[in-house]
Amino acid sequence: MLQQKDIRKVLLAGAGVMGSSFAQIFAKHGYEVILYDIAERSLEKARGVISVNQEAEVASGELTAEESAALVERITMTTSKEYFSQADFVLESTVENMELRHAFWREASELVRPEIVICTNTSGMSITEIAKAVKNPARFTGMHWVNPPHLIPLVEVIAGEKSSEEALQIVYDVALSLEQKPVRVYKDPTGFILNRLQYAIVREACHCVEEGYASLEDVDNVVRYGLGMRYAVVGPFETMDFGGIDIFNHVGSYMFDSLCNDGGVPPILKRAYEEGKYGLKNGKGFYDYSGDKAEKAFLHRDQGFIAVAHALKALEKSE
Ligand SMILES: NC(=O)c1ccc[n+]([C@@H]2O[C@H](COP(=O)([O-])OP(=O)(O)OC[C@H]3O[C@@H](n4cnc5c(N)ncnc54)[C@H](O)[C@@H]3O)[C@@H](O)[C@H]2O)c1
């Protein structure tokens, strides 16, 4: 299989939120990028997003104007499948729909060279199931990023039933070459690891509000100022080591049984959905985002992520 050090040209399929960000990340790290989409208007939008992001990178001093121009030069946008046969690596970020994904991969895995690694950035669909449409599935894996990918370092490298160890290692190496933090996920569990943990917290957060234990604002504050800050530095297993395994064992003996264990979507989440509250995308969610509040919320979030990312990098350098 073509190893990471020999990968020059990457084909990124799907030029939406994730794909347009990936194009910049790969190009920033010297890869030649083909950004492919079925819709010309998606490429138009991606062009706009990339241009705005690059202006911001230059303004913040992250890149010089020359570096940014060279990065953009390395990105070719296309709706043509002619580039598939030239790709050294494929990362697909299209739609969370099995039928459409199967259609994409059935064709794409025929078009690409047999020796290259190909992967999908599905949020949680089974890699094993997607792989059923892939010709030679040993070279196919999951590569799950977190939004916004240029600010959040984690990449989950997921093994489907037929993914080869070599393909998984190549995806892992690609993530490292992009200065990301890859982790390996085995047995293709639903939601991989990040979403399993995230949804466990979401279920308990909804339960605490539903039961009237705290307001939703204060549940957010508990995560922001308590758990979130801690978890940016130490994970749950390190936390148990710091706190004392004897203590966690003792507290766990009554805590675990008191946690919400309901199946299905929590009522508070379901109600918000049924009331047409979709979050920032339509101006109303658990909070109000009318007027310019959504734009301010995005800015606040991204500034926060940048500050935390810088702090973590500084911490890593001092280790
Ligand atoms: N946005 C996130 O937070 C996030 C995080 C991790 C993973 N993901 C996953 O990444 C994928 C893409 O998410 P997004 O937010 O970028 O979506 P998006 O809707 O912004 O973009 C999807 C793009 O794929 C294109 N597309 C659809 N079918 C295609 C095909 N057959 N070939 C080529 N292009 C095609 C669409 O035209 C669109 O431009 C999804 O599977 C999603 O679950 C998203």
- What's the pTM? 0.94
In order along its 319 residues, the chain shows pLDDT tens digits of 999 999 999 999 999 999 999 999 999 999 999 999 999 999 999 999 999 999 988 998 889 999 999 999 999 999 999 999 999 999 999 999 999 999 999 999 999 999 999 999 999 899 999 999 999 999 999 999 999 898 899 999 999 999 999 999 999 999 999 999 999 999 999 999 999 999 999 999 999 999 999 999 999 999 999 999 999 999 999 999 999 999 999 999 999 999 999 999 999 999 999 999 999 989 999 999 999 999 999 889 988 988 998 899 899 888 8
Q: Residues with Cβ < 8 Å from 60, sequence gap 6 or more? A: none
Q: Which of 185, 212, 227 is the last residue of a domain?
A: 185
Number of structural domains found in the chain: 2
CA distances to 1, 209, 213 from 260, in Å:
46, 12, 13
Question: Are both 54 and 80 inside the same structural domain?
Answer: yes
Question: Are both 118 and 206 inside the same structural domain?
Answer: no
CA of 52 to the centre of ligand 1 (A): 20
The C-alpha atoms of residue 158 and residue 26 are separated, in whole angstroms, by 20
Token pair 């007027």 in the structure block, residue: 291
Cβ–ligand 1 contact at 39 (below 6 Å) = yes
Q: Residues with Cβ < 8 Å from 190, sequence gap 6 or more? A: 124, 126, 196
Question: Are both 69 and 43 inside the same structural domain?
Answer: yes
Q: Which of 185, 206, 227 is the last residue of a domain?
A: 185
CA of 93 to the centre of ligand 1 (A): 4
Question: Are both 97 and 116 inside the same structural domain?
Answer: yes
Token pair 């047999």 in the structure block, residue: 114
The C-alpha atoms of residue 112 and residue 246 are separated, in whole angstroms, by 54
Residue 303 sits in a domain whose CATH number is 1.10.1040.10
Range of the domain at 303: 194-318
Question: Are both 237 and 121 inside the same structural domain?
Answer: no
Cβ–ligand 1 contact at 104 (below 6 Å) = yes
Question: Are both 98 and 199 inside the same structural domain?
Answer: no
- Which of 187, 198, 98 shows the shortest CA–CA distance to 147? 198
